[in-house]
Chains A and B, each alone.
Chain A
């Protein structure tokens, strides 16, 4: 169910990313103020936007989970948040590189987007420790969903607050996204689309892998074999601890009915 469409999605991602990179390096004009360094903008800002959308999407998926109690929504929420966290880390790294190049320091407090991202990153970095500190899978999923909703609501609030605080101190350092000349705007939009597709592909990839693993586990339980190496990492995949337990007698009596 998850793997369907993965091929088409990854193919469009390849096309979009290649197109975006081509536009960035061969089509977009050089910025007057920042010169070649400004090209980082085309990877840093889409990363930021997609990460933020991902966090909000994670919150929406968590709402769906709490309403329907379907553990699949929880798995989707988990994967999306996990991926957004990675994208947020990439945002911080690329933003830091940009700051070093244009301001001379690896970190600047005067860039509100970067500061907001640091706070959001610190918040979502607690998501996995929170999950893995709860044993019962259903309670784990529910608590994680509550956290995802709270944190998702926090993200826009945080951005507003930090932007207010920074505007008070310094003007923006790394440039803004409005008033882009035509070719730059086109390049930016294509980069954004490419980043979004990359996010979607990676998430789908992850969901398929998790789903397959949980199905294998259920199959293993049904065939009566215990895994010889219990997985050290607790995963959020549904199918854990769900009634897949049949009595050993039934399994032997039924034999391994060939599928």
Chain B
């Protein structure tokens, strides 16, 4: 197989634009992907923060419940037993 002799050897200033365009496209695709991953990472961090806060809440509540169990009091707040939201 041979390269077609009819394809013109473009001068540098026109060919350069096409070559640059091709490489820029590939670079742009990779960068877009990085940006999408950054957004996803942000979402993951936010989720993780929420879950950590939830966990602390639940741990705090468990402590309070343990306290009340050890020192039984006359008035117990029944609404304490609410399930976590």
Interface residues of A (CB under 8 A from B): 31-37, 39-40, 43-44, 47, 86, 89-90, 93-94, 97-98, 100-103, 171-173, 175-176, 178, 198, 202, 205-206, 209, 212-213, 216, 219-220, 223-225, 227, 248, 251-252, 255-259
Contacts and interface: CB of A to CB of B under 8 A. Distances in A.
A256 B25 contact: no
Interface string B1-39: 111110111111011101101110110011001000100
A133 B84 CA distance: 34
Counting contact residues on chain B (CB < 8 A from A), the size range is 35 or more
Interface of B: 1-5, 7-12, 14-16, 18-19, 21-23, 25-26, 29-30, 33, 37, 40-41, 44, 47-48, 50-51, 54-59, 61-62, 65, 81, 83-85
B14 to A, nearest CB: 8
Given A202-B33, A209-B40, A36 B58 contact: no
A116 B62 CA distance: 63
Contact of B47 (A32, A35, A98, A220): A220
B15 to A, nearest CB: 4
A111 to B, nearest CB: 11
Contacts of B85: 225
Interface of A (DSSP majority class): helix
Contacts of B51: 216, 219-220, 223, 225
21 contacts: A33-B3, A33-B5, A34-B7, A35-B11, A36-B15, A43-B22, A94-B26, A101-B19, A102-B8, A171-B2, A171-B4, A173-B7, A176-B1, A202-B33, A216-B48, A223-B54, A225-B85, A252-B83, A255-B62, A256-B56, A258-B59
